[in-house]
Amino acid sequence: MLTLEVLATYTVTSHIRDSVVYAHPRGAAFQWVALGDGSIDFQAWTRRYRELCPGVPMQLEIITGRPPTILPFFEDGFWKKFPNKPSADFARFLQLVNNGHPFMGAMMIGGPGDQPAEYRAALKEQQRIDVTRSVKYAKEVLRVGNS
């Protein structure tokens, strides 16, 4: 939501991707999931997007099958990349983290290197299913277009 509010006046197109975000001993973790399966309140986000970016197109970016990524913000050195990060913005993020939980649905996780053909086929089918579910969620819940 913060990114939308900051960049709305510059937006000519956008893409959305859902994620679960949750507490982790090293800070937080996130994992990309199908639209509607994550921690983001996309109904509120879409309402705000329509207010701030009327008529601006939005695409879905659905990427599933990857393991969670750790954001180690409790570790030394993490904040060197963000020396001027306002604490109020981080507090908004922490609220999302503390209300989140790991994804508990079924998900194949792809990995580096060669995988058996059956694993690659299952991952491909999962991604097809997740895109289909995401489009359905966008149309039926978010009431966003057919184009």
Confidence of residue 77 (pLDDT cuts 50, 70, 90): very high
pTM of the entire predicted model: 0.89
Kindly report which listed range (1-10, 64-73, 105-114, 131-140) carries the lowest average pLDDT score: 105-114
- Residue 147 domain flag: no
Structure tokens at 48: 């705000």
Q: Tally the domains of the chain.
A: 1
- Residue 125 domain flag: yes
pLDDT tens digit string along 9-65?
Answer: 999 999 999 999 999 999 999 999 999 999 999 999 999 999 999 999 999 999 999
Q: How many CB atoms lie within 10 A of CB 1?
A: 13
CA distance 95 to 23: 10
pLDDT tens digit string along 108-131?
Answer: 998 777 888 899 899 999 999 999
- Residue 145 domain flag: no
Q: Which domain holds residue 29?
A: 2-140
Structure tokens at 33: 């999931």
- Residue 25 domain flag: yes
